[in-house]
Amino acid sequence: MTRTYLAVDLGGTNSRYGLVNQNGEVLRRGRFPIHSYRGPEPIIEDLIVHLRSFLDALSSGQRPRALVVGAAGLIRAEDGVLVAAPNLPGWKNIPLADILGQALSLEVRLENDANLYALGEWFAGAGRHLSHLIVVTLGTGVGGGLILNGRLWNGSFLSAGEIGHVIVEPEGRPCGCGGRGCLETVASATAITRTAREWIMAGQPCAFSGHPDDLTSRDLYGLARQGDALARRVFDRAGWALGLALTNVFNILGLQGAVIGGGVSAAYDFIRPSMFEEFSTRVFAVDPNRIRLAPAALGDDAPLAGVPVLFQKSGDPQAHGAT
Amino acid sequence: MTRTYLAVDLGGTNSRYGLVNQNGEVLRRGRFPIHSYRGPEPIIEDLIVHLRSFLDALSSGQRPRALVVGAAGLIRAEDGVLVAAPNLPGWKNIPLADILGQALSLEVRLENDANLYALGEWFAGAGRHLSHLIVVTLGTGVGGGLILNGRLWNGSFLSAGEIGHVIVEPEGRPCGCGGRGCLETVASATAITRTAREWIMAGQPCAFSGHPDDLTSRDLYGLARQGDALARRVFDRAGWALGLALTNVFNILGLQGAVIGGGVSAAYDFIRPSMFEEFSTRVFAVDPNRIRLAPAALGDDAPLAGVPVLFQKSGDPQAHGAT
């Protein structure tokens, strides 16, 4: 009988969940929309209803061993408390593991969603077989997870892997973190869209026919595919910034690879050339062709696929560095 | 009977050596000048003569268990070969461990000098008791060594810890590594002196009375102590760059501290304010006051003091990540 796990990716607008086997394969999936303005209680109630009916539909042999919830924000993994979540207003110090554990009669663990994403791509995706890896997620913000010696690296203050806040332009745009010119201010979906709007408002030609305020990063991807020069330049610039940030990470850590995921990585083909150009001319003392740079392979399944890793070896949560 | 080790720091102009006990205390010291233009053979002969007479002068109870040689450049630690050394012209693929081992009848190990420096400050210096630490050496170049979970981190390509090649100015000065605007191009002794010369040549006032070409980083330190505004600005700028580079390292790794060593760190009091200002306004999700930033404590003893660590636990070389 194969072991299974129930995994939930609790986003700001959607929650995806799935039943995962020991190999990180997602056997069944579900999702429901999250209206974050409603606050924690009704959303948690919704979540319980959805997960209960999902569990009820499983055969007895598929009953999961545990539930893992991934969320953005500050997680206290040891007792499963969601301390704060930037995309879920009003969620403060929610003992999510206890609440869900009692409602569903399951062992529940809470993890940072970027960490779960990284574990997934490492365990079953584009970073398979690499001992030392960074996984970058280019989404609304830019997140990251770091695998060292085949284990998640958390560092001392749960702030590790934050490649989104590696500085690429010391005097660049202000960043939500209080700094300036972080990778996130150039390469997130938000930043890419903002750059394009600014260039259009400044009179640069672009095939987008709507009002610049209505432009999305998805539109930009479509425009780049049609050969629009402005859209291409926007992704060039994101690639340049990503190449710089990766150079810093590799010069510090000597990793074997980087996986680029998140929504913006749909445009990987447009980001890759400038990213690789910048990285390969700058990376220190290593043949850049020996380093694996690849787009994420698992899509929305990534945060679910790595969940079995958390339970390897006598059920201890797998992570190191958090001392 | 206490265990001792013989440690040699093989520099480009000087070699320092010493007898180190299990606690990283240097019991006796020696040094001799290296005339690097002479090439490897006469220098190795000199080294053997010096070490032999040093060993002969020890009591039988002080006989070291092994010899460790630290050198700049590319080291193949597993068989003790110095593959290439930037500050020792003509040294290519020298089987230094074999040569010295036969001449001195000692077990010999070769290590990267920046790694030994980091191990020393971690084991017996300013980074004691920290599990996760970066040690930066501001010298002719900028080097670094990384301690993760109380062990040296080598990464995959022996290029880890290279904070000197973290980028602080994407369009800055060309760097010896082939990139641009690396920390080394702003904060090394070479860079600091160059910046001061450029500013003086551009007509900025400075109390230095000689020709700008004769200015050294030591002069600048003296001038800064006398209150010279240009010298102060030079160190401010180095501190700014160091603060940026450390922010990147901490945002990626969540370390507990950084130790700043090397010759330029004599001017730590002039570097610290701008370094801390930049670091504390930019570091992500951590109270910067919880992070230990400190000048190196061991001076020239640092590369010697960490040597016992290499022999902890059944004599296996202590390092991880090199897979």
> CB within 8 A of A270, min separation 6: which ones?
A221, A224, A231, A232, A235, A236, A239
How close A113 comes to chain B (CA, Å)?
16
Which strands make up the sheet holding A142-148, listed edge to edge?
Answer: A151-152, A142-148, A133-138, A257-261, A292-295
CATH number, domain A4-117: 3.30.420.40
Q: Which of residues 112-151 of A touch B (CB under 8 A)?
A: 131-132, 144, 146, 148-149
Q: Which of B168, B198, B179 is CA-nearest to residue B274?
A: B168
Q: Which of B186, B174, B173 is CA-nearest to residue B245?
A: B186
Please tell me the predicted confidence (pLDDT) of residue B323: 38
**ipTM of the modeled complex:** 0.90
Helix (H, G, I), strand (E, B) or coil at A147: strand
CATH 3.30.465.10 for domain A126-297, yes or no, is no
Please tell me the predicted confidence (pLDDT) of residue A42: 94
Any idea what the Cα angle at residue A295 is, between residues A292 and A296, rounded to 5°? 110
Please give the model's pTM, rounded to 2 decimal places. 0.91
A256/B156 touch (CB, cutoff 8 Å), yes or no:
yes
Give the one of B248, B321, B323 whose C-beta lies nearest to A248's C-beta.
Answer: B248
Please tell me the predicted confidence (pLDDT) of residue B158: 67
Q: Which of residues 215-244 of B touch A (CB under 8 A)?
A: 244
The domain segmentation of chain A, as residue ranges, is: 4-117, 126-297
Q: Could you give the C-alpha distances from A169 to A141, A187, A198, in angstroms and in order? A: 17, 12, 18
Contacts of B290 in chain A (CB under 8 A): 157
Please tell me the predicted confidence (pLDDT) of residue B285: 74
| Closest A-chain CA to B240 | A170
Give the one of A131, A157, A163 whose C-beta lies nearest to B323's C-beta.
Answer: A131
B252/A248 touch (CB, cutoff 8 Å), yes or no:
yes
Q: Which of residues 9-48 of A touch B (CB under 8 A)?
A: none
Domains A4-117 and A126-297 equal at CATH topology level: yes
Q: Which of residues 269-288 of A touch B (CB under 8 A)?
A: 281-282, 284-286
How close B146 comes to chain A (CA, Å)?
8
Q: Which two tokens stand for residue B53?
A: 């007479």
> CB within 8 A of B27, min separation 6: which ones?
B4, B18, B19, B20, B21, B62
Q: How many angstroms separate the CA atoms of A7 and A64, rounded?
A: 9
Q: Residue type for A249, please?
A: V
| Closest A-chain CA to B246 | A166
Q: Could you give the C-alpha distances from B106 to A26, A107, B7, B183, B313, in angstroms and in order? A: 57, 56, 12, 39, 19
Which strands make up the sheet holding B26-33, listed edge to edge?
Answer: B26-33, B14-21, B4-10, B66-71, B107-112
Please tell me the predicted confidence (pLDDT) of residue A273: 98
Which strands make up the sheet holding A74-76, listed edge to edge?
Answer: A74-76, A81-84, A92-94
Q: How many angstroms separate the CA atoms of A307 and A86, rounded?
A: 23
DSSP code per residue over B77-127:
TTTTEEEE-TTSTT-EEE-HHHHHHHHHTSEEEEEEHHHHHHHHHHHHSTT
Residues in a beta bridge with A109: A68
Q: Report, as ranges of residue numbers, the positions in chain B whose pLDDT lies below 50.
A: 314-323
Q: How many angstroms separate the CA atoms of B233 and B186, rounded?
A: 12
Q: How many angstroms separate the CA atoms of A98 and A278, rounded?
A: 47
Q: How many angstroms separate the CA atoms of A142 and B163, rounded?
A: 22
Helix (H, G, I), strand (E, B) or coil at A10: strand
Please tell me the predicted confidence (pLDDT) of residue B77: 84
> CB within 8 A of B286, min separation 6: which ones?
A157, A159, B250, B254
Helix (H, G, I), strand (E, B) or coil at A88: coil
Please tell me the predicted confidence (pLDDT) of residue B60: 86
Query: What backbone phi and psi angles, to 5 degrees, belong to A68?
Result: -120, 130
Please tell me the predicted confidence (pLDDT) of residue A1: 63
10-residue mean pLDDT profile of chain A (323 residues): values are: 91 91 96 90 95 94 94 87 86 95 96 93 96 95 94 83 95 92 97 97 96 96 98 98 98 96 96 97 87 96 95 54 42
